Amino acid sequence: MKINELINLADDYLNSKNRKQKSKIKCLKHILKKLRKREKKLESKRQKGVNDNDKEKISSELKLIHAHRKKGLTLLKQLQQELNEAKKSKKDKAGDI
Amino acid sequence: MYRKAVLLSIFLVLSYGFWLSPDIKQIAAGVAIFLFGMLLLEEGFKAFTGGVLEKILQKSTKGLFKSMSFGVITTTMMQSSSLVSVITISFLSAGLITLASGIGIIFGANLGTTTGAWLIAGFGIKVKISAYAMPLLVFGVILVLQKQKDLKGLGYVLAGVGFLFLGISYMKEGFETFREQIDLTAYAVSGFKGLLLYTLIGILATVIMQSSHATLVLIITALASQQVTYENALALAIGSNIGTTITAILGSISANINGKRLAAAHLIFNAVTGIIAIAMISNLIMLVDWIAQNLDIDNDNYTLKLAIFHTLFNLIGIIVMLPFINRLVTLLMRLLPEKTHAIAEPVYLNKASIELPETAVEAVRKETLNLYHYFFGIICHGLSLRVRDIKSDKPVKEIIESEKKPIPVNIQEEYTNKIKRLYGAIVDFISQANENMTQEQMNEVYELRSAGRLMLESIKGAKHLHKNLSRHLNDPNPYIREEYNKIRYRLGSILRGLAELEKDPDEERIVLPTLEAMRQEMKQADEQFFNDIDQHIRAHHITGTMATSLMNDNSYAKQIAKKLLKIATILFKNRDTTMHEVEQSLQLDEQEIADALRADKNTDKDCSPEEKTDHEDK
């Protein structure tokens, strides 16, 4: 590994903003997975056959989960884009030098 | 009174000894300095328990082998099995580790403590260690005067080690001059009688000094200056191993039942190990000789042979006891059962947890959950529902229909004996424990305290609701009965939802949509309630007075429901701060909720589930 790459790696690690961003992305992915798990659990519960009242409740929660996942996905895309842009601008700066 | 008498007798005996011989004074001063060093060492390690130690403990105690290794390593590092056992008891009391893991740590600590004998026998006796003590004391004291917590802690550790060295040196010198005047070996008792007698002396010495390490140093220094015979020294070592359990026993007095079980396990393990060592003493001596021969240790180097013996019999104890750990856990559970209280007692709050901030936070969290379980029961009974039904899979509607008669419950008494009492203990504990906490930790305990306060307020509402509910559930008017059952159903559904949420394992639990859905359901039910009331009044099904009573109780139910959701948000939130923050950023506003509930999931073409899966997995 070249010395420049090593410096970049160390810089990446020490850059607290980048690190926070990465940790946020990691958490968000984890939460999205949890939401998907909950969604599957509720869907199978609904299919197993519950009374109408419970069916309605499950449907409402499923709709809300869907909205949360949609919001989460938008946020994930945005965070990933910001991180890529930060990396790109750093590369450009290094190229200029 | 009894303790004072014992203390006075110790003072008198020591004073007589000091008057009799200056050497006894020097040996006693050595022991005192050594013990003071251990106190400083403990104080120093406490400075590092603001998170790091707890995190390491949680990660490294998953599984028996891991917890045993943890016990060996930490005790070797800290050179105090007492500190490790007391911390383990506090962690077990706070519910951070399981009893089996705790026993594993104690087993490991027993092996780890034997490294002390090796260090003293191999290093302490040969080298003039008081020369090392001085710089350590100087650096230590300078660091102790620093304001920064970590530096202060390091200072205590250095000064502690310095005092340990100084104490050993004093004891060594004391015994050397003592040898010239009095020959203690004249009091040596040989044979089985001597073995038992010196084991008992070893137990007593360790109980008085509360440190097997100090007793061991005393034995090794006495052995090095030939003040005790080798056989008697072995018996003293066995005794010190049994006597050391006193620290854990004393530490468990303020701990909960699990802490007491661990202290009992410690006593059982060390007693069994001691009995094995006594029974196999001649075989062990032969084995020690054989090992010493193979390690090129001189035949007359009794101090190192004692270190081998100490390690060997602890190792044998572990090998013998290891297969019985699960049986030991079952036995302790049976011998020391959990008490069921008519009056709630704190389970997780104990003095041992107060000084360790992270343990204190965990203790408050667990105790608030304990409070929540009492609260949950009272709310269920207040609604004439049974906790076991709410926690089952039986549909809430069926439960309401089957429990038509009110369950007799004295909410005021339950509130005073359980909730108020327990909450008071939590508040007291927080005010004592928050001195050492960081801002983040304080925020967390204050949030938990607010959850407790919400429980108190909800119970007051439940008391009023229960009174009217009990009256109207037997009302001949079917319409009012139906309306009260609707209130029961609404709150029962929320309680069911919360019970399911609590049942979910941490890694699967996601509170945001579940609580949001409950909130929406509550809102709709409230709107429906007023429509139904209007209809009943118009159709003369109920009187105006009945309607007022219903509206009041609906308001109580609404408040209880709101508070239940707030309590659940605090108690079941993600404990990882970043994870919690990210989860909160997905919170929907009113408009988004309305849009989501209107939308048909299948017609949403913004983003297909497959597409989402791809993104999440990237």
DSSP H helices, B182-227, are 191-209, 212-224
- Give the pLDDT band of residue A94 (cuts 50, 70, 90): low
- Note the pLDDT of residue A15: 65
The conformation of residue B185, written as its DSSP 8-state character, comes to G
User: Which residues in B524-544 are b (16+ Cβ under 10 Å) and which e?
Assistant: ebeeebeebbeebeeeebbee
User: Which residues in B357-393 are b (16+ Cβ under 10 Å) and which e?
Assistant: bbbbbbbbbbbbbbbbebbbbbbbbbbbbbbebbbee
Contact across the interface for B612 and A35, Cβ inside 8 Å: no
Nearest CB to A72: which of B514, B586, B601?
A: B586
Q: Which range, B5-19, B32-46, B562-576, is most confident?
A: B562-576
Angle between helices B212-224 and B230-243 (to 10 degrees): 170
The conformation of residue B254, written as its DSSP 8-state character, comes to T
CB of B527 closer than 8 Å to CB of A78: no
For B288-311, what is each residue's pLDDT tens digit? 889 888 888 877 788 888 888 888
Average pLDDT over all residues of chain B: 82
For the question of an ipTM over 0.90, the answer is: no
- Note the pLDDT of residue B43: 76
Q: Which range, B15-19, B535-539, B562-566, is most confident?
A: B562-566
Contact across the interface for B588 and A51, Cβ inside 8 Å: no
Look at residue B188 and tell me whether its pLDDT is greater than 70: no
For B412-448, what is each residue's pLDDT tens digit? 888 888 888 899 999 999 988 877 788 888 899 999 9
Q: Structural domain boundaries of chain A?
A: 3-96
- Note the pLDDT of residue B375: 92
Angle between helices B245-252 and B230-243 (to 10 degrees): 10
A-contacting residues in B 579-598 (Cβ below 8 Å): 579, 582-583, 585-586, 588, 592-593, 595-597
Which distant-in-sequence residues (6+ apart) come within 8 Å of B232 by Cβ? B188, B189, B194, B198
Helices and strands (DSSP H and E) totals, chain B = 30, 0
Range B241-249 average pLDDT: 81
- Note the pLDDT of residue A58: 87
Which chain B residues have a beta carbon less than 8 Å from that of A57? 493, 517, 521
- Higher per-residue pLDDT: A29 or A91: A29
Q: Domains in chain B and their CATH numbers? A: 63-141+189-335 (no CATH), 351-596 (1.20.58)
A51-65, B83-97, B345-359, B575-589: lowest mean pLDDT where?
B83-97
- Give the pLDDT band of residue B452 (cuts 50, 70, 90): very high
**Given phi > 0 = left and psi -120 to 50 = alpha, else beta, which region is B344?**
beta
Which chain B residues have a beta carbon less than 8 Å from that of A69? 612
Dist CA B435 CA B43 (whole Å): 16
**Tokens linked to B467:** 């009174």
Look at residue B607 and tell me whether its pLDDT is greater than 50: no
Rg (CA), chain B: 32
Range B555-572 average pLDDT: 93
Q: Which of B394, B612, B617, B618 to mutate to test the interface with A (most CBs of A within 10 A)?
A: B612
- Note the pLDDT of residue B600: 60
Helix (H, G, I), strand (E, B) or coil at B310: helix
Contact across the interface for B510 and A35, Cβ inside 8 Å: yes
For B341-389, what is each residue's pLDDT tens digit? 567 788 888 777 777 788 888 889 989 999 999 999 999 988 888 888 8
B-contacting residues in A 19-78 (Cβ below 8 Å): 23-24, 27-38, 50-51, 53-54, 57, 60-73, 75-77
Q: Which of A63, A65, A84 to mutate to test the interface with B (most CBs of B within 10 A)?
A: A63
Contact across the interface for B510 and A57, Cβ inside 8 Å: no
- Note the pLDDT of residue A97: 55
Range B37-53 average pLDDT: 69
For B389-414, what is each residue's pLDDT tens digit? 898 888 888 888 887 777 778 888 88
For A67-85, what is each residue's pLDDT tens digit? 999 999 999 999 888 888 8
Range B8-27 average pLDDT: 84
Give the closest-approach CA distance of A9 to chain B in angstroms: 21
Measured distance between the N- and C-terminal CA atoms of chain A, rounded to whole angstroms = 20
- Give the pLDDT band of residue B557 (cuts 50, 70, 90): very high
CB of B185 closer than 8 Å to CB of B228: yes
- Alpha carbons within 13 angstroms on the beta-carbon side of residue B572 total 26
Look at residue A4 and tell me whether its pLDDT is greater than 80: no
Measured distance between the N- and C-terminal CA atoms of chain B, rounded to whole angstroms = 70
Nearest CB to B597: which of A63, A70, A77?
A: A63
- Give the pLDDT band of residue B565 (cuts 50, 70, 90): very high
For B116-164, what is each residue's pLDDT tens digit? 778 777 766 555 667 778 888 999 999 999 888 778 888 988 898 888 7
Nearest CB to B606: which of A32, A64, A70?
A: A70
Look at residue A9 and tell me whether its pLDDT is greater than 70: no
- Higher per-residue pLDDT: B498 or B47: B498
- Higher per-residue pLDDT: A59 or B120: A59
Average pLDDT over all residues of chain A: 81
Q: Which residue bears the tokens 């993104």?
A: B615
- Give the pLDDT band of residue B603 (cuts 50, 70, 90): very low
Give the closest-approach CA distance of A26 to chain B in angstroms: 9
Helix (H, G, I), strand (E, B) or coil at B280: coil
Chains A and B form CB pairs within 8 A to the count of 94
CB of B269 closer than 8 Å to CB of B106: yes
Nearest CB to A66: which of B493, B596, B615?
A: B596
> Measured on CA atoms in the order B408, B409, B412, B413, is the torsion positive or negative?
positive
Q: Which of B510, B603, B618 to mutate to test the interface with A (most CBs of A within 10 A)?
A: B510
Q: Which range, A52-61, B181-190, B527-536, is most confident?
A: B527-536
By the CB < 8 Å criterion, does B196 face chain A? no
In chain B, what percentage of residues exceed pLDDT 70?
87
**Tokens linked to B591:** 């408009």
- Chain centroid to CA B454: how far? 26
For B491, phi then psi, to 5°, come to -70, -35
- Higher per-residue pLDDT: B569 or B336: B569
- Give the pLDDT band of residue B101 (cuts 50, 70, 90): confident
- Note the pLDDT of residue B601: 47
Look at residue B605 and tell me whether its pLDDT is greater than 60: no
Range B206-228 average pLDDT: 78
